[in-house]
Amino acid sequence: MSHPKKSALQAFLDYELSPRRQKQTEDHFAACASCREKLKNAKAVLESVGLDLKNLNPKRVPSPAPFVEPSRERVSRKKHPIGSLIFTPVRVPSGLLVFMGLMILIFAGLFYSERHQKGAGDVLLGKSEKSNFLTITSSEGTTEFMPLNIPWDRFTPAKDPIILVMKERP
């Protein structure tokens, strides 16, 4: 038999090994001096710590006070259908909570990005088939403007960035 491990040594001391294994381990201790030494040390630790733990016990144990049913109110409340609906705590699985949190984050992100793309006050220069025009996007929608002080066909947004007078494009 090989040298018993710490766990087997402890189990041997506590008579928790199977009878066959207990006998084998005992035989091994009889033959192996180093294991005998380990067993002696383990026994000493067990005895000293056991005594220390025993000394933690209280000197006097109070007699138990009569047991009062504390949750009677909570239990009886369940008998009322409306009350139970209001007061019974709902146990939500943590996985569902995480999923809901993720969904909220995703929707918030989508909403933000959409708002960001159509941000109020964004001014975009666009081109139509006919000519150039100016689009202003607000939260209410996109409005297209055309210049009044520059001839319609000569207006290029890149060259004429400042338009003083504009009217809504028909």
DSSP string, 87-108: HSPP---HHHHHHHHHHHHHHH
User: How many residues make contact with other proteins (CB under 8 A)?
Assistant: 33
- Residue 119 DSSP code: -
Phi, psi (rounded to 5 degrees) for 93: -60, 140
Residue recorded with tokens 């709902």: 90
CB burial of residue 25 (10 Å; 0-12, 13-18, 19+): buried
Site track for other proteins across 25-64, x = CB under 8 A = -----------------x--xx-xxx-xxxxxxx-xxx-x
Q: Does residue 11 belong to the site contacting other proteins (CB under 8 A)?
A: yes
Which residues, in sequence order, are CB contacts of 35 under 8 Å at separation 6+? 3, 4, 9, 28, 29
Q: Which stretch binds other proteins (CB under 8 A): 70-78, 98-106, 130-138, 152-160?
A: 70-78
- Specify the residue, 45 or 110, whose C-beta has the smaller distance to other proteins: 45
Query: Strand, helix or coil at 72?
Result: helix
By CB under 8 A, name the one of 2, 6, 82, 164 that touches other proteins: 6
Q: Does residue 22 belong to the site contacting other proteins (CB under 8 A)?
A: no
- Longest CA span, the chain: 114
For the CB of residue 139, give the shortest distance to other proteins in the complex, in Å: 50
- Residue 123 DSSP code: E
Q: Which stretch binds other proteins (CB under 8 A): 1-9, 126-134, 137-145, 147-155?
A: 1-9
Q: Does residue 2 belong to the site contacting other proteins (CB under 8 A)?
A: no
Q: Does residue 16 belong to the site contacting other proteins (CB under 8 A)?
A: yes
The contact set with other proteins (CB under 8 A) reads 5-11, 14, 16, 42, 45-46, 48-50, 52-58, 60-62, 64-65, 67, 69-71, 74-75
